[in-house]
Amino acid sequence: SARVSNTFKVEKWHGMLVTRNLHHPIKIPKDLFVRFLEDSMIWIYQVVKEDPDYIYSNLAWDTLHHAGASQIHPHIHMMMSPDHYYGFFENLRTAGQRYHNAMNENYFNTIVEIHSALGLVVQYRDAVAVAIINGKTDMEVMLLSDFPSKNLYTLLHYTLEAYHKEFEQLCHSVTAAWPPLGMSSMAERGRIPAIIRVASRGDCSSLRTDISSYEIYQ
């Protein structure tokens, strides 16, 4: 992969990663897919080492123009914030904190248990994929793991393969937020697991898009 800079930055630390030698937006081999996401984590760790206050990671990856992608080749936006996640993921963090305070239970474990009872959960080692019943778009899947890992990235690859081959959904938006880095009081405040949301963006025959992952989740 190669690091590039985005002209229209939304944060002090806003990086972008692109595949170096493969430019097909859909046909990404699993090993390359996993390494692509691992390289994004290297950037995140380097940011925190350089600027320890920036502990909240926000990722966005839109595929094809109809999903809001500005370019055809695979590219991930990586953004770091010092005091909160963006939009939807901050709402999840605060919801989890309120739920734990009220029920003394883990909010995300409860989500998995409810969806598992409905037959809507698939587990791959220490990661799970949940066909979420209250998603923001059609055919939405949430992936969870304690930490970002090879197992989580592999499960995401399998999920997107199902989107492509089983459901013929080629346009999709992927967003993610990882647990805050470090052991500061800010990092311990309502700590979340590694969360990925995948949303189908519907018919790809049109190049036009109404919104991107930024408007849906960020």
Asked if residues 138 and 116 have their Cβ atoms less than 8 Å apart, the reply is: no
**All residues at 6 or more sequence positions from 49 whose CB lies less than 8 Å from its CB, including other chains:** none
Where exactly are the structural domains of the chain? 2-217
The confidence score (pLDDT) of residue 208 equals 63
Q: Whole-angstrom Cα distance, residue 65 to residue 62? A: 8
Please choose, from the candidates 178, 183, 175, the residue with its C-alpha nearest in 3D space to the C-alpha of residue 194.
178
Q: Whole-angstrom Cα distance, residue 2 to residue 180? A: 25
**167-207 tens-digit pLDDT:** 887 788 899 999 998 877 777 777 899 999 998 876 776 66
Q: Maximum distance among all alpha carbons in the chain? A: 50
Q: Report how far Cα 98 is from the mean position of its chain's Cα atoms.
A: 23
Residue pointed to by tokens 């790809």? 204
* Interval 94-102 mean pLDDT: 95
Please choose, from the candidates 131, 112, 111, the residue with its C-alpha nearest in 3D space to the C-alpha of residue 120.
131
Find the range with the poorest average confidence among 66-70, 157-161, 174-178.
66-70
* Interval 132-138 mean pLDDT: 88
Burial class (CB in 10 A: 0-12, 13-18, 19+), 151: middle
* Interval 15-39 mean pLDDT: 88
Asked if residues 195 and 145 have their Cβ atoms less than 8 Å apart, the reply is: no
2-217: which CATH topology?
Answer: HIT family, subunit A (3.30.428)
* Interval 46-73 mean pLDDT: 81
Tokens of 124: 């791959």
The confidence score (pLDDT) of residue 30 equals 96
First to last CA, the chain: 25
